[in-house]
Each structure stands twice: as structure tokens, then as C-alpha cells.
Chain A
Amino acid sequence: MRMDLLSLLERDAKLTAGEIAVRLGVSEEDVKKEIETLEREQIICGYGAFVNWKRVDNEHLTALIEVRVTPSRGKGFKGIAERIYRFDEVKAVYLMSGAYDLAVIIEGRTLNEVAEFVSDKLSPLESVLSTATHFVLNKFKDHGIVFDGQDLSDERMIVSP
């Protein structure tokens, strides 16, 4: 049940335990218990809505910053990753293979705000060697959801054998 429950919730966190129970053919009680366990074990780490911010807020800005760092003795990349993700504007931090070490996704209101974050907070960190900031111009698809313009009309005939 665990995997099926997770994939249902990943697509639609609004499903009630009752609805999930019907669709998986298990008891509502079992679903509730499993969700509690998954939350306790931090397999489910949170719930939220996928928002297409551009539709309500033109000044919403996302940037991806490539960061090269020196890992610290004992803590590896984790120490510096922690230093970075503590900032609220940082939405995601990934350790990457390839030409740089950390991919940092940040959200801000203006270009200036992002620039200040990089120059005042990120770059001065001792173990940060270099940064390269890329601004997101448009989001076409995020978290598996296509923003704007996906044609969901049903082209099928109304009745067919």
C-alpha cells in the first residue's frame, strides 16, 4: 500500500483518507495510520500547493545559482549546504555532479534582491569559491505539472463501443 499511497498523495495531497481507502481497497483506519507513520518517518516531508506565481505576481523571480565550494573537513558538503539553506529565500539546495557543487534555487521579488543575496550573503561565505547566477525567464512545467496552455479537452467521441 505504501508506494501506491505515496504516488496518490504526491499527485493530490487533498485526497482524504476515506477517498484513498476506497481507491486502494483498504480500510480508512489503515490509511490514516500509514500516513501518520510516513509523516513521522519524514517520508512525507510536507504538503503544499503548486502555485503558478506568475499569474498573480509579476515580480516573482526565481534564480538558479551554481555554486562551487570547498567541502569542510568532517562535514563534507553538508556543512556549507546547511549554511546556505538556512536563508528563507533559498527554496532548494542540491549537491550536483559536474562542473559545480551546489545548485541553489532562490526566490525573490526583484533582480536587485537576488543580486544582493548573492553578493552580501552567499559569496562572502568562506568556503564558497565562485557563483554563477541564472534567472528563470519562464516556467513551462514544474513538479510534473504543465503551467499554462496544456490542452486537456477530451477529444473522444461521446459514446463508442
Chain B
Amino acid sequence: MSSFVSQTIKDLPPSGIRKFFDVAAEMEDVVSLGVGEPDFVTPWHIREEAIFSLEQRHTMYTSNAGMSELRDEISRYMSDRFGLQYNPNSQVLVTVGASEGIDIALRAIINPGDEVLVVEPCFVSYNPCVLMAGGVAVSVPTKAENDFRVTADDIRDKITPKTKAVMLCYPNNPTGAILEHDDLDKIAALLREHEIVVISDEIYAELTYGDDPHTSIASFAGMYEKTIVINGFSKAFAMTGWRLGFVCGPSELMEAMAKIHQYIIMCAPTIAQYGGLEALKNGMPDVEAMRKEYDGRRRYMLDEFCKMGIDCFEARGAFYLFPSIKKFGMGSEEFCRRLLNEQRLAVVPGTAFGACGDGYIRCSYAYSIDSIKEALLRLRKFI
């Protein structure tokens, strides 16, 4: 039957994480620092509101773009948190997770053969989504000596007349890197000179540590008009399983995305939308409490790496650290495979997120301090 499978799909490489997961899932007594989702359960008031929505018989479709109350709240949130003004009626689209946002943003803009600059290491779906949309993914590797911040020069080097878009994800999965105002300012200055769309995946925006809150590239002069901002509820509100995200951007692009969304999705799950509405209305204190908790774990893990002699830059976003394992004389995949087999500790090889991730591993601190302690004990034994 394989002759029926489309060539595009045949050509997609299998997810590096998937391979790894299959092995780990078969083992017993595995301790993991391998997950990309919060360990917190969605705050009860959000769950309760979703249950109440069922009791109130809200079981039908909503409008394609999402419930208007929710879009109003999203619009207000984007304004309050990031200083971005989006019209809730024409510039906000509620999606099935940020993942759908990535897919429809790419499909909305790509003509066959268009090049999309993908800043790596990055989330596993970017390259496949570019390919499935008929585009050509052009890797923009970032470097450890820049703490995995992409620079304007990195991007400039890869721009060609075919370049249609650049995909950014900061705070970054898998590195935990963030971009600060100055970094963004230089990138914005470069992109202002080019007809290039920016797809900015800001799903980890709320998980930014340090004195300055997250800054969106869309808030820089000349950027709003060409930036699609993707965000969602999964990471900030611990709502991964709800599959709820949203996309904001200039009207013309939003219209194109809404067209795809209405045909392939109809609308995001209604029950999840009610949960999301409650999250934005009353959940910000929960976000702050979780952020503080992650921050404490982040410092703890960094401190332990330092004590073990493992090199790691001070990541200030998401819930990942991306330490170097180069000094142990193994590639990422070998390191992870042996760590799993010998100490039953699962971490994710940096190569799962792009070739430039080789020599690094992704360690998540979305775990209780006790779990992290146990995991680091095993790591210490291994090295």
C-alpha cells in the first residue's frame, strides 16, 4: 500500500523525539527530564468553568474564529501584556493549539518553492510544516557562543530573493533562550528592509525569567504589519491537553488563515474555549505562581549543572536548559541512548531540534524539585 502514500509525506523524516519515546516507554523505573509540557494540572477554577459550560449545554460549534468573548479577552490580553493592538473581530483567530497556528500561518503564505528561514534549534514541527505547505525550509543555525540567540547577521546570511518568511520562537524550545529588546531591535531593522513575513511563535512568552517581561517582535516599528504572532494556553496556564491556541496578525493574513481554519477545523473545541476564557479572565495569578516555581527550579538545575561541571548557558525562558555534553566525547544521540540504558534517565538529544543541536541535550524542569533531584543524581552517576 505504500505506493499510495504521497511523496511529500514519504520524504518527511520521522520525529527524532518519537523514536526516543518508543524506547523509553518500554522501560521500567525511568526517570525523565524529557517532557515539553507543564507538570501542573490546569488550575481548578478553569477546569470547573469548563465543566460548568457542559452543564449549561454549550456543546455546539462556536463561530469559526472562536467565541467573541474569548477573542475580546485575547485582544485585551495582547494589549495588556505586550502592547499589541488587535481587533478582536478581524485579527484574532482561536486555534487548536499553537500547533495549528504554525500550520495555517505557513500554508497561508507559501507558494511552491518559497523559502522559509527556520531558526534552529526549534520545535519539531516547523520544518515538516514548511515542507507540507510546499515550501523549502532553510535552516538558520544559532550558536552556543550567542546563548542560542539568533542575530540579524545569522538571518541576513540566509536571505535570498525567494525568502518568504522567517520563523522565530523565543522564549525557545528547546534551548530556553530569549531575545531581549536590543536583539529584537537589530533583527527588526534588518527585516524592515525586506518583504519577509515573520512568524513569531510566542507560546512560552509568559515563562520569561528576569527583570524584563517578554517583548514581541511585532511591537517594533514596521514589524506589526508583517508579523504573525502565535500564542496559546498550553504552557502559561498548564492547558496542553485542551488544545487551545490563538493567532494574531495583520488583517489580510488573518483572513487567509481563517479561510484554511474554517475548512479544516471549523472551530476550536467549545469546552476548551470556555476554559480559555476563564483562564484569561482570572488565571493570571496562577501564571505568576507557576512562573515563580519554574524559576526556582531553573536556578536549582543550573546550580547543579555548574557543580557537576556541565557547561550550560543561563537560559531565561520556557522550562528547558540546554547543556553541552561535548566534553563527554559522544554525540547527543549516543549520550541520550546510553543515559537511558545505563541510568534509566530520559532527556532529549539536541539533534531532535535541528542539526546544530548536536552536542547538547534538552533537560526540562517541568518537574517537582524532588523529581529533578533524583534525575540529576542519575546524571551525575552517568558522567
Contacts and interface: CB of A to CB of B under 8 A. Distances in A.
A2 B37 CA distance: 30
A149 interface: no
B35 interface: yes
Tell me which of B36, B296, B348 has the highest count of chain A C-beta atoms within 10 A of its own C-beta: B296
Interface string B109-127: 0000000000000011100
A160 B300 contact: no
Nearest to A12: B369
Nearest to A151: B41
B21 interface: yes
A134 interface: no
B135 to A, nearest CB: 20
A23 to B, nearest CB: 3
Contact of B30 (A19, A23, A158): A158
B316 to A, nearest CB: 11
Interface in A79-114: none
B300 A158 contact: no
A22 B173 CA distance: 24
Nearest to B348: A159
A157 B35 contact: yes
A156 B348 contact: no
A22 B373 CA distance: 14
A24 B296 contact: yes
A8 B124 CA distance: 35
Contacts of B15: 161
A159 B299 contact: no
B183 interface: no
Interface string A59-91: 000000000000000000000000000000000
Contact of A159 (B17, B123, B296): B17
A25 interface: yes
A22 B39 CA distance: 21
B205 interface: no
Interface residues of B, number: 28
B39 A24 contact: no
B20 interface: yes
Counting chain A residues whose Cβ lies within 8 A of the other chain, the interface size class is: 10 to 19
Contact of A161 (B30, B123, B297, B371): B123
A23 B34 contact: no
Contacts of B123: 161
A158 B303 contact: no
Contacts of A24: 296, 299
Interface string A115-149: 00000000000000000000000000000000000
Given A4-B292, A154-B39, A160 B34 contact: yes
A161 B125 contact: yes
Interface in A8-29: 8, 19, 22-25
Interface string A21-55: 01111000000000000000000000000000000
Contacts of A7: 292
A161 B125 CA distance: 9
B280 to A, nearest CB: 24
Contacts of A23: 295-297, 299-300
A101 B292 CA distance: 39
B25 interface: yes
A87 B37 CA distance: 50
B131 interface: no
Given A4-B292, A154-B39, A159 B20 contact: yes
B24 A159 contact: yes
Interface string B6-43: 00000000010100110011000010101111010000
B346 interface: yes
Contact of B32 (A4, A8, A159): A159
Nearest to B16: A161
A158 B33 CA distance: 8
Contacts of B21: 157-160
Contacts of B17: 159-161
Contacts of B295: 23, 25
A34 to B, nearest CB: 16
Nearest to B123: A161
B346 A158 contact: yes
A8 B299 CA distance: 14
Contacts of A22: 299-300, 303
8 contacts: A4-B292, A19-B300, A154-B371, A156-B39, A157-B21, A159-B20, A160-B36, A161-B173
Interface of B: 15, 17, 20-21, 24-25, 30, 32, 34-37, 39, 123-125, 173, 292, 295-297, 299-300, 303, 346, 348, 352, 371
**Closest 7 pairs (CB-CB, A-B):** A23-B296, A159-B34, A159-B21, A161-B124, A22-B303, A158-B24, A158-B32
Given A23-B295, A158-B346, 15 more contacts: A8-B296, A23-B297, A23-B300, A25-B299, A154-B371, A156-B39, A157-B35, A158-B21, A158-B32, A158-B34, A158-B35, A159-B20, A159-B346, A160-B17, A161-B36
